[in-house]
């Protein structure tokens, strides 16, 4: 029995191993195929041609080259392409920064405002525009459920079908029961932080930093049912737009209308979610590997964002933005007054003095009001303030010296209140 080692690009899970193994075993004289990270260990008798190995690996949707095949494993590099990772990450960061600086717009925080006067037709349109947020917050789950596990469109279809059913069911329940099913901040924070850690591990696995033989969510069996069940569970994850739509479903007071409103909203989110997963499934070879690396970097970024957001629910702030530009309150007629204009993704860091009443005046322009920043909460003072177009006033009296975090209702926008003597 002879052994030859083959480095293969683009593989990152047990399904990849199964697909490649089945293809290689079709070659005459190959008796077994095992894997050590992204290296196939091929045991064979007689003779085999390198071109046969390359051909069958490429046919299965992956990439190898003549120089990737050796009888000595030490000749094959298995290290992560760090330069490529840094390059992709830099491009994403630079583009995001330019969009923010030029348009003062953070695409990940964009959620259209929803109220009870919205028509059912507008729910579909709202869902479509909100799907930008869905891709940023649930895109990692979408990729985990569908990317690189099928060469057809079946799994994206099953995943989105699961989402559609769960959203519709939840909308019906909320409409019928007349109350929004929710969980407290601590449980939400723990769930989101754990999800962030899971996505972080997945990104490292896709980048080749670690190698996980099999990643199973809720013990799903391989096949089309797995993304369907993940899609079903997707509807029960903590989600800002989902909660906003639950408020609308609540206002209908009807199982049918509540279910219909959530159905139309979710239907609007599907096109971009479907395309984002389909692109990663139909592309093969070198292009597929590039897209997989981009997906891994995106999941890496989103996992950090999700983890930090989860910690913010637990009142642990690790945000690296909105930490500068403090404004100290001015004392006017016995009150500390701070005034600022609302932007897409920032309130105002403020410095106030202990024991003196504070009046915060927030000027809201319609073009900057979104479904994310439209409600402000200050947990330390029991404040939940719904912001409206025009002038909004928030009042409290700081009793203790220290630094406190306040945020939007989704904990995606965070700022500081520093209380001094």
Parse the chain into domains and list their residue ranges.
Answer: 2-75, 82-313, 327-420
Query: What is the reported pLDDT for 216?
Result: 43
Give the fold, CATH level 3, of 2-75.
Alpha-Beta Plaits (3.30.70)
Is residue 71 helix, strand or coil?
A: coil
Query: What is the reported pLDDT for 221?
Result: 44
Q: Report the C-alpha gap between 360 and 339 in whole angstroms.
A: 6
Q: Report the C-alpha gap between 404 and 264 in whole angstroms.
A: 39
Residues in the chain with pLDDT values less than 50: 116-117, 149-150, 179-183, 214-225, 320-322
DSSP state of 329: P
Is residue 323 helix, strand or coil?
A: coil
**Which neighbouring-strand residues pair with 70?**
5
Query: What is the reported pLDDT for 219?
Result: 43
| Predicted structure pTM score | 0.55
Query: What is the reported pLDDT for 265?
Result: 85
CATH architecture of 327-420: Sandwich (2.60)
Q: Render the burial of 319-337: b for 16+ CB within 10 Å, e for the rest.
A: beebeeeeeebeeeeeebb
3-state secondary structure 146-187: HCCCCCCCHHHHHHHHHHHHHHHHHHHHHHHHCCCCCCCHHH
Spatial neighbors of 66 by CB under 8 A, at least 6 apart, are 50, 54
Radius of gyration of the chain (CA): 26
Strand order from edge to edge, sheet including 390-396: 330-332, 335-341, 358-364, 390-396
């Amino acid at each position: 029995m002879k052994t030859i080692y083959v480095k293969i690009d683009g593989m990152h899970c047990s399904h990849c191993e199964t697909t490649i193994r089945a293809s290689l075993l079709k070659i005459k004289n190959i008796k077994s195929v095992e894997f050590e990270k992204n290296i196939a260990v091929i045991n064979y008798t007689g003779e085999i041609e390198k071109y046969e190995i390359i051909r069958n690996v490429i046919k299965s949707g992956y990439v190898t080259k003549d120089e990737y095949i050796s009888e000595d494993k030490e000749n094959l590099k298995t290290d992560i392409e760090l330069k490529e990772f840094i390059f992709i990450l830099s491009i994403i960061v630079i583009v995001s920064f330019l969009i923010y600086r030029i348009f003062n717009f953070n695409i990940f925080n964009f959620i259209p405002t929803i109220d009870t006067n919205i028509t059912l037709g507008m729910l579909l349109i709202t869902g479509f525009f909100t799907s930008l947020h869905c891709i940023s917050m649930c895109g990692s789950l979408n990729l985990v459920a569908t990317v690189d596990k099928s060469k057809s469109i079946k799994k994206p279809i099953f995943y989105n079908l699961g989402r559609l059913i769960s959203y519709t069911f939840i909308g019906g329940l909320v409409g019928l029961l007349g109350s929004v099913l929710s969980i407290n901040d601590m449980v939400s924070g723990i769930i989101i932080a754990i999800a962030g850690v899971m996505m972080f591990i997945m990104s490292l696995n896709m980048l080749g930093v670690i190698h996980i033989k099999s990643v199973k969510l809720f013990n799903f069996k391989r096949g089309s049912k797995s993304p369907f069940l993940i899609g079903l569970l997707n509807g029960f994850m903590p989600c800002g737009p989902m909660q906003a739509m639950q408020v609308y479903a609540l206002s209908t007071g009807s199982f049918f209308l509540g279910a219909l409103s959530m159905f139309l909203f979710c239907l609007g989110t599907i096109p971009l979610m479907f395309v984002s997963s389909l692109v990663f499934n139909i592309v093969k070879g070198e292009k597929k590997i590039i897209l997989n690396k981009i997906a891994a970097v995106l999941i890496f970024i989103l996992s950090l964002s999700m983890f930090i957001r989860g910690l913010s629910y637990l009142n642990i702030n690790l945000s690296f933005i909105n930490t500068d530009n403090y404004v100290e309150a001015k004392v006017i007629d016995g009150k500390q007054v701070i005034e600022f204009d609302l932007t897409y993704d920032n309130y105002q860091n403020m410095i106030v003095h202990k024991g003196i009443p504070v009046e915060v005046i927030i000027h809201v322009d319609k073009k900057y009001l979104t479904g994310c920043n439209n409600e402000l909460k200050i947990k330390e003072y029991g404040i939940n303030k719904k912001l409206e177009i025009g002038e909004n006033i928030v009042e409290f009296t700081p009793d203790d010296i220290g630094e406190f975090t306040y945020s939007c209702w989704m904990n995606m926008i965070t700022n500081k209140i520093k209380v001094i003597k």
